[in-house]
Amino acid sequence: MPQPAATDPETVRRTAWFREAKYGLLITWGLYSLPAGEWNGKPYPGLGEWLMNTARIPVANYARLAGRFNPERFDAEAWVLLARRAGMKYIVGMSKRHDGFAMFHSRVTPFNIVDAAPFQRDPMQELAAACRKHDMRLGFYYSQSQDWHHLGGAVSGGSWDPAQQGGFDAYLERIALPQVREPLTNYGPVALIWFDTPIDMTPERAERFVKLVRDLQPNCLINGRLDAERHGFDYASMRDNQVFETGMQSAWETPATINDTWGYRRDDHNWKPSDTIVYRLVDIVSKGGNYLLNVGPTGDGEIPEPSLRVLDEVGEWLSTNAEAIYGAGRTPFGAELAASSIADSRFVYRKPTGWRCTTKVS
């Protein structure tokens, strides 16, 4: 995996807070939260937020979901307070997923939660206000490449509706770049932009996003999924739920789910217990990384109770073990954490399965 420059002074400066934070909350929430893995009464396998693609739903039919999207139980402040109780130091809100629906008041396209839905509120604006109130850093997820609604957006597996076809560069110019500009100018300081699935994203195309971010918010971090060659990023993004065996010197992050899916599915009850989440957090920190843990709110705007319980239990552990996580460094013991056995002239190290070690400079 290509890595950001660990010793570049600007990268080190920008990522200082990120290296200290270690633990963040990703919120995957959108129109897909309403059907929750089903279409026309039939459940479809796979990730909840990929339903439009998996079921090959026509653009116009999927767009009708917006007409009944009214998440009246959404409470931005409750979400931020949950993250604080859980010990998380930053939140990544969902500005636009692959289905093309903007979860903020975008002036670029009417396909957004204010103009197309009866909710008529901007949840990202409310989330930004709550984060400022409670001293929580806020970033935004944005699908820069895939867009299954707007003409020309990339489509994993190929388009299934003529309404999706068009020029990719025209899509970037007309939709993606102007929409990325909006949260960078309308919501205060943005901690990071979390890009994803860089289909057709060349370094030349990615450079336009890098320049936009650097011009508008020089301190905003760019994750490692902007393009396939990871051009211009500040920290590396692992694959979903994947952890480095040995870690790296530069900043990196594992995005992960509490159950099996990111967007809400009503039939996904495979919740990881809190001790598993704690172990993975310590494992990642011991290798120099950050843990970005996801919740998938329902179509009503509620975070499922099992997620609430797990996050609170992890937060309770962190309340007495914070020193082992925040600002902690990598294990001093080396590759025994990654290999089944490593021998030198004096010792044979065995991979421990029940413990991890972090370090702290006093």
Region at 163 (left for phi over 0; alpha for psi -120 to 50; beta for the rest)? alpha
Q: Are strands 192-194 and 252-257 parallel, antiparallel or unpaired?
A: unpaired
pLDDT value, residue 307? 98
DSSP secondary structure letters along 318-341: HHHHGGGTTT-B--SSGGGGTSSE
CA distances 234 to 210, 220, 312, Å, are 10, 9, 30
pLDDT at residue number 342 = 39
Length of the chain as a residue count: 362
Closest CA to 190 of 125, 99, 122, 120: 125
Give the pLDDT score at 337. 55
Per-residue pLDDT of the chain (362 residues; tens, 9 = 90+): 566 766 689 999 999 999 999 999 999 999 999 999 999 999 999 999 999 999 999 999 999 999 999 999 999 999 999 999 999 999 999 999 999 999 999 999 999 999 999 999 999 999 999 999 999 999 999 999 999 999 999 999 999 999 999 999 999 999 999 999 999 999 999 999 999 999 999 999 999 999 999 999 999 999 999 997 777 789 999 999 998 777 788 899 999 999 999 999 999 999 999 999 999 999 999 999 999 999 999 999 999 999 999 999 999 999 999 999 999 999 887 654 544 333 444 444 445 566 788 999 87
pLDDT at 144: 98
Token pair 């400022």 in the structure block, residue: 132
The yes or no reply on domain 9-327 and CATH 3.20.20.70 is no
Phi, psi of 93 (to 5 degrees): -85, 160
Which letter does DSSP use for residue 329 in this model?
A: B
pLDDT value at position 232? 72
Domain boundaries, the chain: 9-327
